[in-house]
């Protein structure tokens, strides 16, 4: 998500910001702008930002000094093609219109939706995020930020939000601060972004993170800060450090690249192995492989080469496309691999599809041994807060032990970093559960900081307390 206020042709800045955030969603994108003469305008398109929001004919339809945008990655609503699910969503209220973009996942969206429909709301999409607009419409508050506060107090789960009225740019993070949101300064204007890498692309200066539970209301005159929720300990998503964020972003004052490199260092300390080559599964495994090679003293080499014209495989919604994706995206550098004992470093194993295929490619290229080292603990639980993970029974680590996974993948060894090791790498020297800031690590631990109530109603069994 990206939003800008106080610059000429804000939508052009938003398009650039969204381009830098394309890794967070590749299916579709949307921009809403406001101009005193033209009013609100919006455009939603399937495909990459660069293929749509670079055309002058489209950008001219989005004038004004205020704009927000979103790139879509379906975690809720219909998978794949439905333009009605593409954000930002827009609502017209008695005090003027408002548009909303949401990153995260609302865990009580089904029950809210049922209740709202019974009370007369007409939904336009299958998206969980649309509930917020309908809750705002029913609020009795006098202005849009207060209506949004009212609405968000009813919402459970993870939500970072970038929204706009005719004159205001609004940013909110849920009380646990699960998903990121940062503030930047550009000339006399302001920007809100999911990650700092998108501030860099427009030449904006990074100011600070929006705090967990904070709402900022920004006009051309300045910023107001509100805290509409009950204060809680924050639980930022640890998987943003492992995989989701871009390595050139800064989270909590730390470089994501440096954290990933440190994960590789911890991984090598915990799980050493005698081998000839440390090879990343590009691109997400690369910083951890650099750390692993440095710590182990084993040479680093690009044994797998990525075709830069393919997107992230996993992010494509259907199984068929995902299966083709690995070969379209990655190829083996035979000359480097042949005859070597290879350590493959990847950020995560989810279904195990990628690891199986890569192992086969490496063996076909003549590797003597294949050892997997994974820069996250086993992903044994689905995420209900905005990362698209499959159902629990499709997660390799939900049904198999580490040894069984090793056998299933037919590799010489397979080891994961421990959860404590991961905490050490993100800067919490004492490890987990030791009075250090806690993250949301539900995908690894099964401990969900907000009960996923819709899923529980559908029969999902949360882990029993230990």
Which CB atom, from 410 or from 457, has the smaller least distance to ligand AMP?
410
Closest distance of CB 354 from ligand AMP, Å: 3
List, in order, residues 6 or more apart from 211 with CB less than 8 Å away. 173, 177
Residue of 146, 388, 412, 420 interacting with ligand AMP (CB under 6 A): 388
Q: What does the angle CA 391 – CA 86 – CA 181 come to, to the nearest 5 degrees?
A: 80
On whether the CB atoms of residues 266 and 425 are closer than 8 A, the answer is yes
Nearest of 327, 346, 151 to residue 143 by alpha carbon: 151
Angle subtended by helix axes 256-270 and 286-296, to nearest 10: 50
Measured between alpha carbons, how far is 96 from 75 in angstroms, rounded to an integer? 30
352 is a site residue for ligand AMP (CB under 6 A): yes
412 is a site residue for ligand AMP (CB under 6 A): no
On whether the CB atoms of residues 122 and 115 are closer than 8 A, the answer is no
Residue of 74, 87, 286, 389 interacting with ligand AMP (CB under 6 A): 389
Residue of 185, 294, 312, 334 interacting with ligand AMP (CB under 6 A): 312
Which CB atom, from 100 or from 242, has the smaller least distance to ligand AMP?
242
On whether the CB atoms of residues 168 and 217 are closer than 8 A, the answer is yes
237 is a site residue for ligand AMP (CB under 6 A): no
245 is a site residue for ligand AMP (CB under 6 A): no
Stretch that binds ligand AMP, among 251-259, 286-294, 353-361, 445-453 (CB under 6 A): 353-361
- Rule CB under 6 A: which of 355-374 touch ligand AMP? 355
Measured between alpha carbons, how far is 47 from 31 in angstroms, rounded to an integer? 13
Measured between alpha carbons, how far is 236 from 229 in angstroms, rounded to an integer? 16
Coil vs helix vs strand at 217: strand
Closest distance of CB 368 from ligand AMP, Å: 23
346 is a site residue for ligand AMP (CB under 6 A): yes
Residue of 315, 368, 400, 406 interacting with ligand AMP (CB under 6 A): 315
CA atoms within 13 A on the CB side of 445: 20
Which CB atom, from 245 or from 284, has the smaller least distance to ligand AMP?
284
243 is a site residue for ligand AMP (CB under 6 A): yes
281 is a site residue for ligand AMP (CB under 6 A): yes
Kindly report the length of the chain: 466
| Total chain residues near ligand AMP (CB under 6 A) | 19
Stretch that binds ligand AMP, among 7-15, 96-104, 192-200, 387-395 (CB under 6 A): 387-395
Closest distance of CB 358 from ligand AMP, Å: 8
Which CB atom, from 108 or from 348, has the smaller least distance to ligand AMP?
348
Residue of 42, 52, 193, 353 interacting with ligand AMP (CB under 6 A): 353
Measured between alpha carbons, how far is 440 from 377 in angstroms, rounded to an integer? 13
Stretch that binds ligand AMP, among 97-105, 131-139, 312-320, 360-368 (CB under 6 A): 312-320
Nearest of 463, 274, 321 to residue 27 by alpha carbon: 321
CA dihedral over 244, 249, 252, 255, signed as positive or negative: positive
236 is a site residue for ligand AMP (CB under 6 A): no
334 is a site residue for ligand AMP (CB under 6 A): no
348 is a site residue for ligand AMP (CB under 6 A): yes
349 is a site residue for ligand AMP (CB under 6 A): yes
On whether the CB atoms of residues 299 and 274 are closer than 8 A, the answer is no
Residue of 154, 351, 392, 408 interacting with ligand AMP (CB under 6 A): 351
Measured between alpha carbons, how far is 109 from 154 in angstroms, rounded to an integer? 10
On whether the CB atoms of residues 44 and 27 are closer than 8 A, the answer is no
341 is a site residue for ligand AMP (CB under 6 A): no
| Residue 164 vs residues 18, 70, 169, 405: alpha-carbon distances, Å | 16, 13, 5, 47
Which CB atom, from 204 or from 256, has the smaller least distance to ligand AMP?
256
Which CB atom, from 103 or from 354, has the smaller least distance to ligand AMP?
354
- Contact residues toward ligand AMP (CB under 6 A) are 243, 281, 284, 312, 314-315, 346-355, 387-389
């Amino acid at each position: 998500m990206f939003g800008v206020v106080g610059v000429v042709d804000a939508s052009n800045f938003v398009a650039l910001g969204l381009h830098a955030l394309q890794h967070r969603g590749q299916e579709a994108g949307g921009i809403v702008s406001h101009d005193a003469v033209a009013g609100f305008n919006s455009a939603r398109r399937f495909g990459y930002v660069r293929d749509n929001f670079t055309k002058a004919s489209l950008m001219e339809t989005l004038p004004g000094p205020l704009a927000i945008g979103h790139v879509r990655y379906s975690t809720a609503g219909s998978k794949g093609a439905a333009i009605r699910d593409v954000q930002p969503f827009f609502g017209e209220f008695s005090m003027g219109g408002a548009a909303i973009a949401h990153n995260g996942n609302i865990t009580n969206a089904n029950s809210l939706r049922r209740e709202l429909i019974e009370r007369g709301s007409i939904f336009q999409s299958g998206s969980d995020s649309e509930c917020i607009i309908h809750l705002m419409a029913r609020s009795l508050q006098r202005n849009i930020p207060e209506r949004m506060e009212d609405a968000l107090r009813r919402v459970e789960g993870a939500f970072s939000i970038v929204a706009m009225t005719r004159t205001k740019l609004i940013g909110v993070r849920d009380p646990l601060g699960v998903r990121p949101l940062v503030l930047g300064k550009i000339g006399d204007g302001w920007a809100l972004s999911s990650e700092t890498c998108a501030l860099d692309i427009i030449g904006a200066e990074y100011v600070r993170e929006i705090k967990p539970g904070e709402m900022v209301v920004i006009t051309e005159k300045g910023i107001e800060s509100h805290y509409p929720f009950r204060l809680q300990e924050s639980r930022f998503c640890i998987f943003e450090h492992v995989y989701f964020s871009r390595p050139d972003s800064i989270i909590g004052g730390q470089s994501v690249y440096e954290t990933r490199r440190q994960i590789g260092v911890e991984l090598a300390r915990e799980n050493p192995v005698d081998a000839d080559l440390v090879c990343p599964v590009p691109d997400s495994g690369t910083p951890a492989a650099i750390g692993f090679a440095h710590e182990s003293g084993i040479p680093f080499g690009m044994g797998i080469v990525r075709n830069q014209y393919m997107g992230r495989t996993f992010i494509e919604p259907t199984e068929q496309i995902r299966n083709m994706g690995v070969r379209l995206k990655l190829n083996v550098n035979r000359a480097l691999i042949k005859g070597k004992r290879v350590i493959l470093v990847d950020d995560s194993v989810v279904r195990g599809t990628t690891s199986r295929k890569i192992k086969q490619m490496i063996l076909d290229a003549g590797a003597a041994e294949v050892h997997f080292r994974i820069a996250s603990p086993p992903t044994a639980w689905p995420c209900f807060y905005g990362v698209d993970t499959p159902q629990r029974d499709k997660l390799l680590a939900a049904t198999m032990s580490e040894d069984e996974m090793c056998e299933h993948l037919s590799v010489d060894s397979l080891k994961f970093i421990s959860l404590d090791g991961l905490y050490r790498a993100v800067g919490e020297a004492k490890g987990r559960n030791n009075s250090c800031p806690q993250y949301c690590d539900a995908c690894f631990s099964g401990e969900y900081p907000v009960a996923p109530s819709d899923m529980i109603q559908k029969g999902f069994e949360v882990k029993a307390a230990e």
